[in-house]
Amino acid sequence: MDTPFIFNHIEPSHPNAAGFTLGLDIDQLRGHMLVTRRKLKVGQHLYRAGQPFTALYLVHAGFLKTCELSEDGREQVTGFRMRGDLLGAESIGLAAYSCDAVALDDCEIWELPYPPVLGACLHIPELQARLTAALAEEIRRDRSWMLAIGTLSAEHRVATFLLDVAARHAKLGFSPSHFILRMGRADIASFLALKHETVSRALSHLEEQGYISVLRREVKLLNIPLLRAYVGQSCTVH
């Protein structure tokens, strides 16, 4: 029996797996810049909108959300980041970060000071290509969520979200079918452009239908292919 309760604390097979978003050995980067380590506790901000933009970050362990804010106080969760994910890239080219990054679990983060990253790109042409590709990947991820939000019903969105979590867990070597959500219902709701009650109901209903089992934040996907089929139906059915 697996132990999803300590996911973030299991060491995956490759010791430098946390650098895979950039596809590079961290040690190679250390030759070009001072890579420091930062620890965050639940609820702490890695950075806030408006703070001077000084670095990119790689998640080594833990879990974070990014939040977009408007002048008039509206707030939107725009994504969740886990081991291996890059943070701060959206603020490249600005003097200050453009959004908030908040720890949803205790985190260990590698800080890559930014001007040095640019410099390193000149010496490691590979790095430049990787960084650009990582940015493009981020655009594609955001757009595929726009597609989901613009075209799927509440329940389909939630199912899609669970399948996405599963896929990301699988890529890190964790169980795709049994995991603990690190974010609250309200964060999922904001991300999917819903209300937390709606997310709660959707989860309950997916459970009733036998697709999943939910107990607070512990989720089991009982039949992933069937769940995929359920999401795929969304268009052909109506």
Partner DNA sequence: GCGGCGACTTGAGCAGGATCAATTCTTGGC
Partner DNA sequence: GCCAAGAATTGATCCTGCTCAAGTCGCCGC
- Those residues whose C-beta lies under 8 Å from the C-beta of residue 201, and which sit 6 or more positions away, are none
Matching residue, tokens 């190679």: 28
DSSP of 125-142, one letter per residue?
Answer: HHHHHHHHHHHHHHHHHH
Per CB under 8 A, does 13 bind a second copy?
no
Specify the residue, 15 or 73, whose C-beta has the smaller distance to a second copy: 73
Specify the residue, 68 or 106, whose C-beta has the smaller distance to DNA: 106
Residue of 32, 45, 196, 228 interacting with DNA (CB under 7 A): 196
Per CB under 8 A, does 11 bind a second copy?
no
SS3 label, residue 109 = strand
Per CB under 7 A, does 105 bind DNA?
no
| Tally of CA atoms within 13 A in the half-sphere of 100 that contains its CB | 15
Task: State the Cα–Cα distance between residues 189 and 79, nearest whole angstrom.
Answer: 12
Q: Which helix (H) or strand (E) holds 236?
A: helix 224-237
Per CB under 7 A, does 16 bind DNA?
no
> Could you give the string, one character per residue 85-124, with x where binding to a second copy holds by CB under 8 A and - elsewhere?
----xxxxxx---xx------------------x--xx--
Mark the segment that binds DNA (CB under 7 A) among 45-53, 64-72, 100-108, 150-158.
150-158
Euclidean distance between the first and the last CA atom of the chain, given in angstroms as a whole number: 40
Task: State the Cα–Cα distance between residues 74 and 41, nearest whole angstrom.
Answer: 25
**Minimum CB distance to DNA, residue 134 (Å):** 30
Per CB under 8 A, does 149 bind a second copy?
yes
**Minimum CB distance to a second copy, residue 1 (Å):** 34
Matching residue, tokens 């139906």: 233
Per CB under 8 A, does 27 bind a second copy?
no
Task: State the Cα–Cα distance between residues 54 and 215, nearest whole angstrom.
Answer: 40
Q: Which residues bind a second copy (CB under 8 A)?
A: 68-76, 78, 89-94, 98-99, 118, 121-122, 125, 128-129, 131-140, 142-147, 149-152, 190, 193, 232-236
